[in-house]
Every structure is written in structure tokens, then in C-alpha cells.
Chains A and B, each alone.
Chain A
Amino acid sequence: MTQPDAAYKARDVTGYADVPAETKEHLFEQVKADPRYADYLYGCYECGICVAVCPSARFYDFSPRRIAQAAAREDVDLIYQQMQEDIWECSQCFSCVRCPRGNNPGGIITIMREVAINNGLASAKEALVGYSRIIYKIMSTGTQVSPDMLQQDAFPDWGPETADVSANLDLWRRALPPETLHTTSTGWKVADSTLIELYLIWLHTGALDMISGVDPSLHAILQEVMEERLEEEGIEP
């Protein structure tokens, strides 16, 4: 039986180009192929407990129940739409694992996001706008946020204390008693040998290549940084 498209599924409200059914099926196949998928979905009662505890459902047109439902019904149209519209609203808090069926809607979303990144979906590109410098930081330095990120223009809503921190950064870092914390451009001092091991992990697990489709210039920069460093050490990447 063909179902009439619900209003929320209508193409003209999605803002994203439609793709052939095979493409949608192919994307969903990739989601299902993730070994974690079977641990995250056991069907759905439609009870809505996950929605009741979901922070993102309170502020966005977003629902973990819809995610679990679409996956359980293998509704590839809706799943494609969710990959373009919904998945980046999730807060990844995992409150939804309270699900009485044992589902993990947040975990399904993590996998859907990975597939969206791997396939360079428009939503993934959009989600990474303004976020690239964070990826650069974590992949190249081994720590995600650094003291020197605390600039008032980046965090104007965090109050005047942010300006105090950035004005006194060097002194305040040197006033920290643990020796590892005197850094300003990384969270702590990461050993060089450790960083090289991290680069090898990014290269050998394909994590670095994942960003080539969504942010080719960031990918090129990171690849150069890593390969140069490995070459200096005489290590085959």
C-alpha cells in the first residue's frame, strides 16, 4: 500500500534536493552495516518516553521516536529526510536510552551522522560550517579545546570573565600548579611521540579521510600536517 506523504515529509519543505530511491537505500544500507546498529534498535512501542526526556525535542522540531520508528520500518524516504534535516539537532546526551524497548535512538543518530559525513551530505557540510577549526584542533593537537580559544568575540555571551581570561592568559596559565597545564594552545602538554601515534590512528582508521568529502581544504591541511610530521620522524604513513 502506498502511503500519502505526511506534511513533514513533503519535498518542498525539506530544502534539500531529492535523490533516487537507490541512493536512499544505499545510505540506509551503510547505517545498517555498522556493527553497533543491531545493539541500538529492537523495534519501537511508540511510547514516546524518549521524546519526554529529549532536550532537543523541546526546542526543535525533532523526535527520537521518529528516528527509531523510521529505522524500524526501514522507511528510506523518511530516513533520508532525517539525515538531511534532523540528526544534527540531537544533543547526544543519551537520555533516550531510558527506552523501555532497549533502543538507543541517540546511538542510531551517531551512526546516521557518520554516514552523512562519509557521503558528503548537504546537512553534514552545513553542520560543519564554523566547526572546522575544532576538528583541526582535535586532530592535529590531541586536545579539543584550548585556553586561547577563550576570546570575547568567540564567546560574547559568556560574560566579561572571558575577556579577563584572554587578557591574562599567559600569566594565569603559568600560575597553575600542575606542570602539564602551562600551555595556552592545547588543554595540556601532549608529548610529541603521543601525537605521532594519534596521527597514525587517524590515518589508519580512515577517520582523516572521512572529512575529505565535507571539507576538502581542511582535509588537505591536516593531511599535510600529519604526513610532514611522520616524515620528519622517518615513519611510513
Chain B
Amino acid sequence: MTTIPVEALLRKKEHFERGADRRALEDPRAELLALEAQGELVVQKMDREAMAMTTKYGREKRIQKSHLWHHKSCGQCGHIPGYSTSIFWVMRKLGYDYHDPQDQTSCTAWNYYASATSNAAAQAAVAVRNFAAAEQTGYFPLIHCGTSYGHYKEVREELIRHPELRAEVRGIMARLGKQLVLPEEIIHYSEWFFALRHEIAAKQVRDVSNVVVTVHPACHYYKLVEGDALYDPEIYGGQRTAVVTGLAQALGAEVRSYSTWFDCCGFGFRHILVQRDFTRSFATLRKIEVMKEEADPDVVLTHDTGCVTTLDKSQFAAKAHDRNVGVAVLSDAQFAALAMGAHPYKVCQLHWHSADYRPLLEKMGIDHEQAWAEFQADIKRLESGEKRYLDWDDVDS
């Protein structure tokens, strides 16, 4: 019989020992403040009224209500601009001030997850550059994109764990005349909508009680650094993230579940751009068709750039193959804006969407033909040169 020396076994095992410092961070905010006290970085604090929410494992996470720095999303602004516009519009309607910066780049994570043509230091530097730009204005960052939000939380973990990365990023920031700044919390816009859902519902002018909703929770919102997403024991018994669903329920819509809720949408980062056969198949076979079969929704609500794009755009080709598809796809922000009386084209920009949203508008009591005529009248004003751009006064007239 061969005897395996205990030391040899332990040596093998050593490789996988999980030291205390390698467990998921329970309270990243506390870690940031500790590092700030050591002079390692600067933490931007909230300085306006904030709502206390609860994360997956019970940590309190505060959501500042006003004076927010909108970290826009390239996919939203570029391809589904009514997503961004609706976020701004709802905030204006609730009377909260904000800043829409030009001193902001993309988080560049879409490209990173698609092509890996970047590295940890570059990704952290891009994130910190944006955070430092926010801090300089005094407005607190609010992240529009689910991927930016998830990626920035990853970057925060990496910066907390790895002093050599902090040193490298500090050096790069110094060349830009900036400091290594991180906000005390990384906040996704759908958390703001969830936190303020009762204020939003109080301004509701359209009844959505006959609207059936299915929710696609965005992977990068609640799977990346999962402990930091918002949960609520009242919503799915605290077993799924509460954002989006909590908002739809507060507005009075009927939220129905379906079995593949945990599946991703099929975006795939590189796949949506260069391997769309995968994206189309996954989005329709694993998401839309299952929802149709099991829940028959009027609308799919989701809270990330890639998910709206994928679930909306993938249905056209599937329809040509007589698949069981054909359901409107909106962001929670667009849905809330519509419920609060927003114009479907001037504000929510639904003409940029592909899946048919008109039956949903009809259920919400919106005359979409008249609304389109109103939008066209505005376009004529631009064509005639009467105005160069439409502004916020135009969309509410």
C-alpha cells in the first residue's frame, strides 16, 4: 500500500485555500472608507436626501434622490435613445435636479467582454476617470447601463483587493490631474426607480392594471458582485432581485413569472455584433417563447441596454419562421414614463424599437396614431428650419 504523505496532500490543497481576504466583500463601502482613511483613495459621499434600501444579504444601501451625475450608456443613447430620455424625463417630472455630462466616456466594458482588447488597469482607469469627473462636479454618479454598473462593481472589488492596481491607477490619474476617486455606493438607475417607486406611482396618470408584465432581470445587474444588488422580502420572497418587479407592481401592473427567468437574454457581447445566430436563437427559444407560453405578457420589462436590444431586435427573424414571438420590450424607465403620461414617441422614442409595441399602447389607452402624427408635426418644424433641435419644453407641449 502506498502512503501519501499528509504534506503532499496539503500542498495540493493549498492552491485552493480560501483566505479570509479572498471571500466576497461584505461591505465594500466600509472597505472604501478604510482605504480613504489610509490616504489610498478618495470616496465621494452622498450629500443629498437618500433612501435606505436593502441588498441581497441585508446590507443597507442608500440611494441619493437628487443632484445626480448621469453616467450614460452607449447602447442606450446610440440605439434605443428613448431609454435614456425616459430616465431624464421621470427625474424632471419628480422635480429632482441632475447633470448630463459630456465629460463622460463609455465604461468600455461591452468591448472588453466582447474582445478582451483591454486589461484590468485600463478598465479601472476608465472607471475612475469617470468617477473623478463626477466628483469634480459635485453631482453623485447614477449608472444607466447594467454592464457598466456590474463592471464598475468588479473594478471596485479589484481596486480594494489589489494595492498594486491601486498604485498603477493612481499613477495614471495623476498624469490626468485627477485622483483615485470612487463613490461610496455604485448605484444603478433601476435602483433609483425602485427606491422612488411610490413617488413615481403617485404621479401616475395612465392605468396599467390590465397590463401583464414579465421581467427579465439583467445578469450584469445581479450576478456580477451579486451581494450588492437590491432585494426585498416582499418581492419574490427575497429570492430574486426586487428592482423592475417592485416598480411594475407599484404601478399596478400584473407581473407574471416564467421558468427561465434566471437565463441571460443571449446578448453575448460579441455575439450580438458578430455571431447573432446564437443571440437570436437564445433570445427567442429560451426567453420570449417561454414567456409567451407560460405567462402571455403584453410587455417584457428589463433594465439593461443589452437586454432591451437583444429581446427586442431578435424577434423579427423568429417571426419570419412563424415562431411564437411578438411581445413589446421596454425598459422599466420607459414603462414608468408612459404610466406617468410621457409621449410614446417624443419621450419614449418607441419608433427606435422593433417588436410591435402598439397593442401595449392601446391597452394603456394611448392613441398611437395620433401620437405619431404629433411627433411628425414636430419633425416638420425641424425640417422647415423653425427649430434646430427639440427640447424638454417641446416634448411636454
Known interface pairs A55-B264, A92-B269, A180-B72; A134-B286 also in contact (CB < 8 Å) = no
A135, A188, A198: the one within 8 Å of B126 (CB): A198
- Residues 88-126 of A, flagged 1 when their CB comes within 8 A of B and 0 if not, give 100111110110001000000010011011000000100
CB atoms of A175 and B390 under 8 A apart? yes
How many B residues face the partner with a CB closer than 8 A? 101
Tell me which residues from 188 to 214 in chain B have a Cβ below 8 Å from any Cβ of chain A.
none
Contacts of A36 in B (CB 8 A): 120, 158
CB atoms of B78 and A147 under 8 A apart? yes
B73, B165, B266, B268: the one within 8 Å of A35 (CB): B165
**Separation of A131 and B114 alpha carbons in the complex (Å):** 9
**Separation of A141 and B176 alpha carbons in the complex (Å):** 18
CB atoms of A35 and B164 under 8 A apart? yes
A157, CB-defined interface residue at 8 Å: yes
- Residues 253-285 of B, flagged 1 when their CB comes within 8 A of A and 0 if not, give 000000000111011111101101010111000
B108, B119, B219, B379: the one within 8 Å of A95 (CB): B219
Tell me which residues from 120 to 174 in chain A have a Cβ below 8 Å from any Cβ of chain B.
124, 127-131, 134-135, 138, 142-147, 149-150, 155, 157-159, 161-162, 164-165, 168, 171-174
A42, A95, A113, A142: the one within 8 Å of B105 (CB): A142
Known interface pairs A194-B104, A205-B172, A210-B118; A35-B158 also in contact (CB < 8 Å) = yes
**Separation of A180 and B69 alpha carbons in the complex (Å):** 13
Question: What is the distance, in angstroms, from B180's C-beta to the closest C-beta of chain A?
Answer: 13
CB atoms of B219 and A94 under 8 A apart? yes
B57, CB-defined interface residue at 8 Å: no
CB atoms of B118 and A34 under 8 A apart? no
CB atoms of A174 and B224 under 8 A apart? no
B16, B103, B165, B378: the one within 8 Å of A193 (CB): B103
Contacts of A38 in B (CB 8 A): 22
**Separation of A172 and B77 alpha carbons in the complex (Å):** 12
A48, CB-defined interface residue at 8 Å: no
A-B residue pairs in contact (CB < 8 Å), sample of 27:
A35-B162, A38-B22, A59-B282, A60-B278, A97-B223, A129-B274, A131-B273, A143-B106, A145-B110, A149-B79, A161-B352, A165-B351, A175-B346, A176-B85, A176-B349, A178-B88, A182-B389, A187-B78, A188-B77, A188-B102, A188-B104, A191-B102, A194-B133, A201-B122, A201-B129, A201-B172, A205-B119
Which residues of chain B have a CB within 8 Å of any CB of chain A? Answer: 15-16, 18, 22-24, 72-79, 81, 84-85, 88-89, 100-106, 108, 110-122, 125-126, 129, 133, 150, 157-158, 161-162, 164-165, 168, 172, 175-176, 178, 219-220, 223-224, 226, 262-264, 266-271, 273-274, 276, 278, 280-282, 286, 313-314, 316-317, 346-347, 349, 351-354, 375, 378-379, 382-383, 388-392, 394-395
